[in-house]
Amino acid sequence: MKADKTGMHGVWASRWTFILAATGSAVGLGNIWKFPYITGENGGGAFVLVYLICILTAGIPVMMAEVLLGRKGRMSPINTMKELAGQEKAPQFFQGIGWMGAISGFFILSFYSVIAGWTLYYVVKMISGDFSNVTADGAGEIFGGLLSDPLLLTLLHTIFMVMTGVVIARGVHKGLEDGVRTMMPLLFLMLILLLGYSLTTSGFSQAAAFLFSFDFEHLTGASVVEALGHSFFTLSLGMGAIMAYGAYMPKQASLGKTILAVGFLDTLVALVAGLIVFSIVFTNGLEPGAGPGLMFQTLPLAFSALPGGQWIGTAFFILVAIAAWSSALSIAEPAVAWAVEKGWSRGMATFAVCGFAWVLGLGTVLSFNEWSDVTLWGKTFFDSLDFLTANIMLPLGGMLIAIFVGWFMTAESTNAEARIKNPTVFAIWRFMLKFVSPLAVLAIFLHGLKVF
C-alpha cells in the first residue's frame, strides 16, 4: 500500500476536525444519560476513578489501534480489514472485524434512533411547559405515555433517522465535517452554560464531593467490570465508526496526541454532565442512584421545581439530542462507506442503510408496547439487540483489533503509521495493546455472557 494513499471518500480538513468528529462519535447518550446513572448506582467517586483508569489502560490503546487501521487502509472498515489482513499475513478470520463492526453499528443505529427520538420529544415537552409544576406521578405518566404509543415513537424514530441521513448523504466535507463543526461547538456551549448554572445551585458542592471523593465501600467486582465496559463503549470502539473516521484522518496528524485529545474531551463531557445532573439531583433532594429513569423521569421533576426550570430543561435536552445526533452519524458511516465503494451513489447508500435500520428499529418501537410480552431467551427484541451488540459483538471486535495490531502487525509497520517518536511510549502502548487491553476486553465479554 502506498504511504500517500488518501482513499476515495476524502480527508478531514484538519487534525482538529477529526478530533471534533471522533469526539462527536464518542459523546452520546452514554456520556450524558448512562454515565451519571451508573455512577450513582455504584457509589460515585471510586467508580469514577476506576473508570478513568480503564479509559487509559484499555480504551485509549484500542482506540489508537482502530484509528491506525483506518488511516492505513483509507477505506471502509470492511475493505480495510480485507486488505490489511492480507498484507500482514494474518488469519483470514481477521477480515471479519470490518463486517462485524459494520453489522453491529447497523443494529445499534436501529435502536439508537428510537431512544434518541425520546430526547426530541422531551425538548418539545420542555418548551411547551408540560413539565411545569409536574409531580413524580405526572413525570412517570408522561414517560409511560410516550413508551406506550407506537405511532408517536415511530414518528420520533423517523424524524431522528431523517436528521441523520440528511447529514451523511452530503459526504465527508459538506455533510460529516460541516455537521460536527456546527454540532460540537454548540454541544460544548450548552455544557458550559448548564455547568455555569449548576455552580449556582445549593447541590453543586455535594455533587462534586459525590463524583470526586473515593468511598470504596460501594465498589464491587461487578462495578469494576461495568466501569471497564463503559470506558470501552463510550469511545465508540469495535463498531467500525472510529476506524471509518480514521480513514479520513490527515496523514501528517500525530496519532497519539490526537487520540489522547479525543479521550480527554469524551471523559470531560461525561464528568461535566455528571456535575450538572447531580447538582440538580442533590439540590432537589432526589436519589442519585435512580437508575435509567434518572434522565427521563427524575430530572424533569427537578427542572419543574427550579426557577427558570423550563428553559434549563429545554437546554439540557437539546444538549442530549445533539450528542445523540453526532454519535448516530458515525454509527451509520461504516456501512454507507462500504456501499459507496461498491459503486452506489452516497445518497442511495445512505437511503439504503438508514432505511433498513429504520425498518429494524420498528422492532425496538414495539418492544416497549405491543411486543413487550414477546421475548427471546427472556429478552425483548430491543434487549436482545442491545445485549448482542454491547456484550458480544463490540467487545469481540475490540479484542480482535487489539490482537491484530499488537500481534500480527510488526513494530515497524505499526509505528510507520502511528509515528510515535518516543520509543518508551511506543513500547508501553504496544505492551498495553498486546496484553492488557485484550484481557480487559475479554473480562467485559465474559461478564456480559455471565461466565463470572
Distance CA 214, CA 97 (A): 38
pLDDT for residue 109: 95
Q: At what angle do helices 150-169 and 346-367 cross, to 10 degrees?
A: 160
Spatial CA neighbour of 309 closest among 125, 141, 184: 125
Domain ranges (residues) in the chain: 15-448
* Mean pLDDT computed over 97-113: 93
pLDDT in tens, 32-78: 878 887 888 888 888 999 899 989 888 899 999 999 999 999 999 99
d(C-alpha 36, C-alpha 280), whole Å: 12
pLDDT in tens, 399-434: 999 999 999 999 998 988 888 888 999 999 999 999
- CA 35 – CA 29 distance, rounded (Å): 9
Give me the pLDDT at residue 195, please.
92
Task: Give pLDDT tens digits for 360-381.
Answer: 999 999 999 999 998 888 899 9
* Alpha carbon distance 255, 439 (integer Å): 23
Considering only 63-67, 194-198, 390-394, which range has the smallest mean pLDDT? 390-394
CATH dotted code for 15-448: 1.10.4160
